[in-house]
């Protein structure tokens, strides 16, 4: 793929009239992606577990003059099949289709050797980072199929491509994410499925992983948005099964 995030110039109305769902939209990269998509014309469905954070992003989008977003509160650690279907049904009723899905929500768990990693924490991390995006995507596929140029994006990581000591369930969940993306991309016609690897980005998750790091040395979430716009917009039409680096 010849995409160069440093030289990508997205059109101002790149996402005009598109309906895009973002998970983990209340904070970090997801909040920035939601605001950026709205600035480029998308109606964004803000999905996350903390209503107040989602409402703050909603307010920011409205005060930016963007299309009025929607909010769906769901905790992926606890949600059951019906909860996912409820979101799909609500989107069907309000919009009738879905143009884009950014599976962004994720948790770090903690850094520890696998030899000592708690099985309960392993299950939680694998569930939130891998199983939940799969179940959500499965529930939303009928709505994505109704769109003209649908795009599904999963969020990977450098440790999802090469294992690294101490990254435990997080690393393994991101390897799974790459496999999920590749398998879906191979199965689905007319629907592109890709991964995005944000790279080191200044968020709460990065702070938790590297508490002693100087945050001013990191890219901000806003800095990495070109790759998100590219994958959710029409310029990546025909690109599928790829894992893109933002940095
Ligand atoms: P943050 O911790 O800043 O944000 C994560 C988001 O996911 C939050 O909005 C959080 O909600 C939401 N979330 C977490 N658990 C759940 C849950 N059980 N149900 C619903 N929502 C949940 O992380 P980042 O913005 O840094 O990360 C975003 C994505 O990018 C993740 O998939 C991460 O693995 C990936 N990534 C990040 C990198 C980085 O350097 N920052 C590098 C590589 C990959 P709430 O705010 O309510 O807790």
Judge if pTM exceeds 0.95: yes
Q: For residue 108, report the distance from its CA to the centre of ligand 1, in Å.
A: 8
The verdict on the CB of residue 109 being under 6 Å from ligand 1 is no
Q: For residue 65, report the distance from its CA to the centre of ligand 1, in Å.
A: 26
Distances (CA, A) of 124 to 52, 121, 154, 216, 236: 23, 5, 18, 31, 33
Check if the beta carbon of residue 156 is closer than 8 Å to that of residue 174: yes
What's the CA gap between 157 and 178, in Å, rounded?
A: 9
What's the CA gap between 201 and 228, in Å, rounded?
A: 14
| Domain boundaries along the sequence of the chain | 19-245
Nearest Cα residue to 161 out of 196, 209, 191 = 196
Check if the beta carbon of residue 46 is closer than 8 Å to that of residue 70: yes
The verdict on the CB of residue 133 being under 6 Å from ligand 1 is no
CA 142 to chain centre: 19
Q: Does residue 219 sit in helix, strand or coil? A: strand
Check if the beta carbon of residue 109 is closer than 8 Å to that of residue 168: yes
In a structure prediction context, what are the per-residue pLDDT tens digits for the chain, which is 247 residues long?
579 999 999 999 999 999 999 999 999 999 999 999 999 999 999 999 999 999 999 999 999 999 999 999 999 999 999 999 999 999 999 999 999 999 999 999 999 999 999 999 999 999 999 999 999 999 999 999 999 999 999 999 999 999 999 999 999 999 999 999 999 999 999 999 999 999 999 999 999 999 999 999 999 999 999 999 999 999 999 999 999 999 9
Q: Bridge partners of 48?
A: 73
Nearest Cα residue to 235 out of 22, 11, 6, 7 = 11
Does domain 19-245 bear CATH number 1.20.1250.20? no
Backbone Cα Rg of the chain:
17
Ligand 1 closest atom vs CA 208: 2
Q: For residue 233, report the distance from its CA to the centre of ligand 1, in Å.
A: 22
């Amino acid at each position: 793929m010849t995409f160069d995030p440093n030289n990508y110039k997205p059109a101002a109305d790149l996402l005009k009239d598109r309906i895009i769902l973002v998970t983990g939209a209340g904070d970090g990269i997801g909040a920035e992606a939601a605001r950026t998509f709205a600035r480029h014309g998308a109606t964004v469905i803000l999905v996350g577990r903390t209503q107040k954070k989602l409402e703050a992003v909603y307010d920011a989008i409205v005060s930016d003059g963007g299309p009025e977003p929607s909010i769906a509160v769901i905790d992926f650690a606890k949600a059951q099949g019906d909860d996912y279907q409820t979101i799909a049904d609500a989107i069907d009723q309000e919009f009738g289709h879905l143009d884009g899905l950014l599976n962004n929500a994720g948790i770090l768990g903690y850094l520890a050797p696998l030899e000592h990693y708690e099985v309960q924490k392993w299950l939680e991390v694998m569930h939130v980072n891998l199983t939940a995006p799969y179940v959500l995507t499965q529930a939303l596929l009928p709505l994505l199929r109704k769109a003209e140029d649908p795009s599904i994006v999963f969020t990977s990581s450098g440790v999802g491509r090469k294992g690294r000591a101490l990254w435990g369930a997080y690393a393994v969940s991101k390897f799974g994410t790459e496999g999920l993306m590749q398998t879906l991309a191979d199965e689905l016609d007319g629907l592109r499925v890709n991964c995005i690897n944000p790279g080191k980005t200044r968020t709460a998750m990065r702070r938790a992983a590297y508490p002693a790091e100087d945050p001013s040395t990191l890219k901000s979430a806003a800095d990495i948005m070109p790759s998100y716009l590219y994958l959710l917009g029409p310029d990546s039409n025909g690109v599928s099964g790829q894992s893109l680096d933002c940095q």
